[in-house]
Amino acid sequence: MSHDMSHDQASYLELLARGAAAEAYDRPALLARAEGAGTEALAALEHAKRLALRVRAELAERRRREAELSALFETAHDLAGLRDLDAVLRAIVQRARSLLGTEVAYLCLNDPAAGDTYMRVTEGSVSARFQQLRLGMGEGLGGLVAQTARPYVTDSYFDDPRFQHTRTIDSGVRDEGLVAILGVPLMLGSQVIGVLFAADRHARVFEREQIALLGSFAAHAAVAIDTANLLGETRTALAELEKANEIIKEHSAVIERASDVHDRLTELVLRGGGVHDVASALSEVLDGTVEFAHPDSPSVTALELTGTEGRAKRHGEVWGAAVSAGGELLGALVLRGHPGLDPVDQRTLERAAMVTSLLLLARRSAGEAEQRVRGELLDDFLDAPDRDPRLLRERAVRLRADLDAPHVVLAARIDGPVAGAAGAPGATERETADRRRLWSAASHLAATGQGLAATRDGGTVLLLPLAPGDTAADLARRTAGQLGGALREPVTIGASTVIEAPAARPGAIAEAYAEARRCLDALRLLGRSGDGAAAQDLGFLGLLLADTRDIEGFVDRTIGEVVAYDLRRGTDLVRTLGAYFASGMSPARTKDELHVHVNTVAQRLERVARLLGPDWQSPARALEIQLALRLHAMSEAVVR
């Protein structure tokens, strides 16, 4: 019975187009099997299904990131036009619950007057007791978050001994049916003013990205409360100080200007602007020079912004606001030329820093996604080289990698003081962290150099293009220096021989990786940690490591100068060298072997020293020269 394969495969595109559930992707294969399709056709359909499901997953992940960024930008816009604090906090809690996919989300604030903490906003709660809960300072999971000013998560609240359980809190949580709870602090400066929670009525694991996302919402909530407090203070001053009417008007104008600034920044981000565009726009508004500085720059170090949670800080004539996410310092917006910054302009600088953190998070998410795709492609080259070369080439082109050009495979490992120390406390955790750091740095290097990178065998494998005039050894040494400098630890790299066109011979990549691994192992055994090399750098050892067995190249590198001299001058230096080593490196026995005067032997050996270098008789060099002489003699015999 015939079967229309193109129609069945096209049905997967229809499923993707209408956003069908994952179960629907089994139907085309079932129908094909019922219609009597052959084994090959069914295998093709199964491959098409896997590809369609991967595309579906990537689309879902992209929609999730877009939803997160959209919600965060909407929240930033709400803050810019803040009118009703309750409405803003309610929107923040609703968006947090929706994006994290939890059943409940809620926000608690500290009440300094009463000396306790109370529920301010809840979303998804069904228990009246829970919604009206008030608890003492330091109690429950929220108390642990407030004490440490750090996020905490529990996958089973009642079984967790880390925080103080009380009858009041446990009763409220039990009424609500909560099991897994994540809490992040609301910070004003170094002070915790409350906690934002996301919770489920069943056990679940909160991912690092979800914790960072909830932390971003908590930062927005803290800014909203801070802004509301500022507005409240302004209203109080209006009522009490009639004579300050002109000052208040000026403040109102500045606040309106700050709101316009936020609208402008939000529009800039939505148009696809970058970090430096934000700094440029802010320079105009604040009448100074604003630049984005990296975490380890001198200006950021001098400002001591770690732990300031994005609040503006002054050092001499310079102002700065930390750009951070989830407690990680990503950099800072640094303002020069405007030392007299009023409080509202300080808030403008701080909120611009928050927008910048969103941009960097978005860029990082996109970069991590691309790194994963690059790693998957290289894994396919290594593990499934028999796949359709045309599909592999198309995937490489989408990643801006030209696999029809010469490439080199590099095997890289960190050779830190702890890595590999079996049984050492924390060795496994350290090695895992080292592998993650190495992969991150290598992936960035591969992406900027139009190459590929993936984790493998406790280290990282890279497939990098070879520039004209470059050698595999040059590339290995340069890459070892770049990765070692980025990680501030020695990184050892072994290189394969050059693959002229990897896309045409996918199987050559796995062979080259095996060669690069052998070269890496040899470097580590030779004590050359932090170095990079190819087989050709390792003398006769390279002959054993390389799959190509480049005998002619080894001979040329070792005694090529002597062979060439004999050809040019008609001398007999190669034969003299052979006799010298055959005679136990004795000039007297050598002259008998050659039937020449001992002075003639001495003169020839002096010429050899000038051609090969003064250390040519050292044990290591002598061993390589003798091997090269034997290989040269064998090749000459074959030619004759």
Which range (6-15, 176-185, 433-442, 556-565) has the least confidence? 6-15
**HEC readout, 507-556:** HHHHHHHHHHHHHHHHHHHCCCCCCEEEHHHHCHHHHHHCCCCCHHHHHH
pLDDT per residue as tens digits for the range 488-522: 889 999 888 888 888 778 778 888 888 888 778 77
Distance set, CA 154 to CA 101, 105, 206, 406 (Å):
16, 15, 9, 51
Q: What whole-number distance in Å separates Cα of residue 595 and Cα of residue 559? A: 24
> SS3 helix, strand, coil % of the chain, rounded to 5?
60, 15, 25
Q: Is the pTM of this model over 0.95?
A: no
Q: What whole-number distance in Å separates Cα of residue 211 and Cα of residue 16? A: 30
Is 90 exceeded by the pLDDT of residue 185? Answer: yes
- Which residue did the predictor score with more confidence, 88 or 410? 410
pLDDT per residue as tens digits for the range 260-281: 666 676 666 666 666 777 777 7
pLDDT per residue as tens digits for the range 584-596: 888 888 888 888 8
pLDDT per residue as tens digits for the range 220-253: 888 878 887 777 666 666 666 555 455 445 556 5
The per-residue pLDDT for 241 is 57
The per-residue pLDDT for 252 is 60
Are both 82-234 and 272-366 of the same fold? Answer: yes
- Which residue did the predictor score with more confidence, 216 or 324? 216
Q: What whole-number distance in Å separates Cα of residue 386 and Cα of residue 389? A: 8
* Superfamily classification of domain 272-366: GAF domain (3.30.450.40)
pLDDT per residue as tens digits for the range 79-95: 556 667 888 888 888 88
The per-residue pLDDT for 546 is 47
Confidence band (pLDDT; 50, 70, 90) for 475? very high
pLDDT, average across residues 213-222? 84
The per-residue pLDDT for 545 is 46
Is 90 exceeded by the pLDDT of residue 199? Answer: yes
pLDDT, average across residues 466-476? 88
Q: What whole-number distance in Å separates Cα of residue 223 and Cα of residue 421? A: 47
Fold adopted by 82-234: Beta-Lactamase (3.30.450)
The per-residue pLDDT for 123 is 93
> DSSP per residue over 297-365, as a string?
SHHHHHHT-TTSTT--EEETTEEEEEEEETTEEEEEEEEES-----HHHHHHHHHHHHHHHHHHHHHHH
Percentage of the chain with pLDDT > 90?
A: 9
The per-residue pLDDT for 583 is 85
Helix (H/G/I), strand (E/B), else coil: 419: coil
The per-residue pLDDT for 559 is 82
The per-residue pLDDT for 449 is 79
Confidence band (pLDDT; 50, 70, 90) for 151? very high
The per-residue pLDDT for 30 is 78
Number of Cα atoms under 13 Å in the Cβ half of residue 18? 9
pLDDT per residue as tens digits for the range 130-140: 999 888 888 88
Domain boundaries, the chain: 4-68, 82-234, 272-366, 389-417+430-545, 551-639
Cβ-contact 551, 543 below 8 angstroms: yes
Fold adopted by 389-417+430-545: Alpha-Beta Plaits (3.30.70)
Confidence band (pLDDT; 50, 70, 90) for 121? very high
120-133 b/e with 16+ CB inside 10 Å = b?
bbbbbbebeebeeb
**Average pLDDT of the chain, as a whole number:** 77
Q: What order do you get walking across the sheet with 152-154 strand by strand? A: 134-136, 116-123, 104-111, 191-200, 180-188, 152-154
Confidence band (pLDDT; 50, 70, 90) for 125? very high
The per-residue pLDDT for 266 is 67
pLDDT per residue as tens digits for the range 317-372: 788 777 776 666 767 777 887 677 777 777 877 777 777 666 665 555 444 544 56
DSSP assigned state of 467: P
Confidence band (pLDDT; 50, 70, 90) for 379? confident
